[in-house]
Amino acid sequence: MNRVFIIVLDSLGIGALPDAAEYGDEGSNTLAAVATSQKLNIPNLRRLGLYNIDGVDLQPKEPAPTGSFSRLGQLSKGKDTTVGHWEIAGLVSQWPLQTYPNGFPPEVIRALEEAWGRKILCNKPYSGTQVINDYGPEHLETGALIVYTSADSVLQIAAHEEKIPLEELYKYCRIAREIMQGEHGVGRIIARPFIGKAGSFTRTANRHDYSLEPPSITMLDVLLEAGLDVIGIGKIEDIFAGKGVSESHPIKSNNDGMEKLSEMVKRDFKGLCFANLVDFDMLYGHRNDIDGYANALTEFDIWLGDFLPKLGSGDLLMLTADHGCDPSTPSTDHSREYVPLLIYSPNIKKGVDLGTRSSFADIAATTQEIFAIPKRTQGQSFLKEIARNV
């Protein structure tokens, strides 16, 4: 194999993990919720074996899947983007990242205000769309920054692009990242720029994430040290704080990400192309928009039907997710779920049911074995179970 493509369908969980009740997510099932929509039409994902995965109680099952498939459990504590992607890359987090259900403590707020030279508004868990409606007018009047969080380990900073230029907002985020370490080391600092007038504010596509640096080695580091290409599409570089990424392509949307993947499959490289498609989570899961989620998954499936024939005998594709975000529950936060794994290559066995596996990290272990690199991360490879002439 010369090229591995890993595409994370951000938040496409497939059913609650055994410990989901500890996270308030008992009964969550993102895929099942999305499947209630008449807008869902995913024949290519079904043919790969999506509905054949353990625990997926959807019809019709594919009699002869063209891919191999599995259900992946999560060993890391938490249910956010950062720990999910770190585990996909072979790093299991023993402790959940810090969250702030009551807002950030006074000492953090003081440190941020002093470093920024600006006051802070809000400082509560809040909906990202509602917070700009509620605090946007005061922000425009005073120049104070809107700081809020969620059930995830995040500190989000919202500012109007005409009041705070993007580069200034990004500078504030970098300052916050330096402050939010150690005891207050949230997983991500997120820039949330918006535009418009009071009553009709809208967030822009100029979001930028500033993650904690992974605390130990990941498969990205291993591949890069072995002289292979590690190409990130979407927020991969942000999630790994740039570690182990040789080339990065930020995106504005799922469609932008799919276009970049279509361009990448034409390129001659050796190594990993690791992509995150965030719209499923950001635009639909968090907003409890079942039809929107279903429509986005249908659009991905159409693109996938065009992408699969472009993969050659030296290519392998893995489709997975990083957590759930069930749009049918009262919560608008991530959900603690199993994630799917669909594997396709012209050069592997078809229809191999890999059952339920304990960790997302098996993806990292398998990727290292594909490139004949000694495994230096967590996880168990499944390459021998799907190999033909790999």
Q: Tens digits of per-residue pLDDT, 144-158?
A: 999 999 888 999 999
Write the pLDDT tens digit of every residue in 291-347.
999 999 999 999 999 999 999 999 999 999 999 999 999 998 999 999 999 999 999
Inter-residue contact 155 to 190 (CB < 8 Å): yes
Would you state the pLDDT for residue 152? 84
Residue 230 domain flag: yes
Say if residue 390's pLDDT is above 70.
no
Q: Which among 239, 262, 235 is positioned nearest to 249, based on CA atoms?
A: 235
Nearest to residue 72, comparing CAs of 388, 390, 380?
380
Q: Is residue 101 one of the residues assigned to a domain?
A: no
Which pLDDT score is estimated for 389? 60
d(CA 383, CA 368): 10
Give the Cα separation of 113 and 109 in Å (integer): 6
154 shares a domain with 302: no
Are residue 186 and residue 258 in the same domain, yes or no? no
Same domain, 79 and 220: yes
Structure tokens, 215: 């605390």
Q: Are residues 82 and 110 in the same domain?
A: no
Q: Do 96 and 153 touch, CB atoms closer than 8 A?
A: yes
Angular region, 293: left φ>0, alpha ψ -120 to 50, beta rest? alpha
Which CATH number fits the domain that encloses residue 254?
3.40.720.10
What distance in Å separates the CA atoms of residue 315 and residue 346, rounded to the nearest whole number?
A: 8
78 and 133: one domain? no
Predicted confidence at residue 219, as pLDDT, reads 98
Q: What pLDDT digit, counting tens, does each position of 74-121 carry?
A: 999 989 999 999 999 999 998 888 999 999 999 999 999 999 999 999
Write the CA distances from 54 to 231, 234, 313, 384, integer angstroms: 31, 29, 28, 20
Is the same domain home to 144 and 196? yes
Per-residue pLDDT at 96 = 83
Residues 301 and 378 in one domain: yes
- Indicate whether 179 and 127 sit together in one domain: yes
Q: Quote the mean pLDDT of the chain.
A: 96
Buried b or exposed e, range 29-49, using 16+ CB within 10 angstroms: bbbbbbbebeebbbebbbbbb
Question: What does the DSSP assignment read for 257-326?
Answer: HHHHHHHHTTS---EEEEEEE-HIIIIIITTT-HHHHHHHHHHHHHHHHHHGGG--TTEEEEEE-SSB--
What is the rounded average pLDDT of the residues 58-87?
96
Q: How many residues does the chain have?
A: 390
Q: What is the CATH number of the domain that holds 159?
A: 3.30.70.1250
Task: Look up the domain containing 65 and give its range.
Answer: 3-95+214-386
Task: Please tell me the distance from the alpha carbon of residue 185 to that of residue 108, in angstroms, as a whole number.
Answer: 11
Q: Give yes or no: residues 327 and 271 share one domain.
A: yes
Give pLDDT, residue 151: 82
Clarify whether residues 155 and 298 are in a common domain: no
Token pair for 201: 């504010």
pTM greater than the 0.85 cutoff = yes
Residues 62 and 204 reside in one and the same domain = no
Q: Is residue 304 part of a domain?
A: yes
Q: Which two tokens stand for residue 8?
A: 């994370």
In a domain, 233, yes or no: yes
Q: Structurally, how many domains does the chain consist of?
A: 2
Average confidence (pLDDT) over 8-21? 98
